Structure 1
Amino acid sequence: MSSDNEQDAENKPDEAVGATPRGRRRSSRPAGPPPGEAHATVVRKPTTSKPVELSKPVAAKADSGAKSTPAPVVATPAEAESKQPRAKRSVRSMVLAGAAALVIVALVVATVVLAIAKRNDDSRDARRGEFVSTARQVVLNMTSFKKDSASDDVKKLLDQSSGEFMQDFGSKSDPLADIVQRLQIDATGDIIESALESDDGDTATVLVVAGMQFTNAGTTELQNRTFRLRVTVTDADGRMTASKVEFVP
């Protein structure tokens, strides 16, 4: 019986079997949409959805129809300061600039005053030094005589004299030179110490301690003497002279 069925199947035309011609191949077409159709973009959705996390909770509106009230704006200190009236800032700037200018002027004035004071001090010190130097030289000439130059030594002392001292010493200058030559006196003086006692403008008094070593015709032995003198020095037209000399015990 099976043979009969096989024969019947062979005798049937090809159209009876699935209406598919014998030996038909499955057609293959290229990937993508068919020709003539619009290009379609395939969006693949992930099979598992990831929950979306909100960074900040969104407050639900109580009434969607009600109007929201804007939050009050608070100005920062910088903004508040920038809103000050320009005239007020200008006045403050002028005040600060004026204060700085006053400080600078005060510093300049103080510097000038100090410089003048220092110059005056230096000038006064130099003048006092001249008074002391003149007194020392006068005393040195008083204690230094040589028998071979007695007249010149006396004249040198007279050139540094004025006032009362010149009158007293001038009347004794010639006898003094004769005594030095006759007694063969050789005297050498030196200044031990000196100091300014007072200063009164053009006049100053100076204390001088002097030593004198001398020999004479009566002895060959060297003699020593010490003198303390107060010398008044006067500045007359820029020329300083000894106007008075006193021996101090």
Structure 2
Amino acid sequence: MRVPYTSSASQINIFLQNLNEYLDSGIYCDLTFIIGCEKFLCHRIILASSSPYFQALLTHKFKENNLNSIELRDIEPQIFSLLLHYIYSGKIEIDNNNVQNILIASDMLQLDEVVQFCCHYLSISLNENNVIDTWKIANELECISLKDNAEHYILTNFCNLIKFDMIKFIPKNLLIKIISNDDLIIDNEEQVLEAILIWYINNHEQTFEHLFDNVRFEYISKEHQKMILHQIGFVCINKF
């Protein structure tokens, strides 16, 4: 009689604990990563099994496969340390101070579960101070769900972004997308014009092209239009 047996969770935990101890002590390590001025000892087989990035780096696809030490750039030592311990232990501590850097690094290293958790963390932590930076990162890394959540937050909190002077940091293409969206929540149309002008004051090297196309001037009195536009010494002749 054959009876299949699967290791218990406790046995797996012991295995991971031992791996983590080998990492910390340097036992059986056969590979060194150089990050800035710091060196990290680790095990080639563990990293090659952890993600497609390391698998490619440490096998036949890259010239580094025959080296005992590899230099990695575009990642901070403390962030690499956190991700390295995650690979060995399955655990990582993420907070407001490191989540963006961990997201960028884990995307580079193709640690998909960490990427997903960071995106979830950022989605539930959105506020006026971080939403634009979060959108920029999500856009760059093509994290669609996080990008959509950030855009939804901007649409529903547009007035607060104006109030806290955060509109000036928004990319032009995103500003156009937001103010052209019928789901934009504002108190009045004057706020759209105000947002454009705040943005322009802080991004004057760029143009107004396509921004005014999305202002519903019929809902703004000419007096108010002129008052706002003259605040920055600009007269948009074609609109008056």
| Band the TM-score falls in, shorter-chain normalisation | under 0.3
Higher relative contact order, chain-length normalized (CA < 8 Å, sep 6+): 1
Provide TM-score, normalisation by structure 2. 0.21
Higher helix share: 2
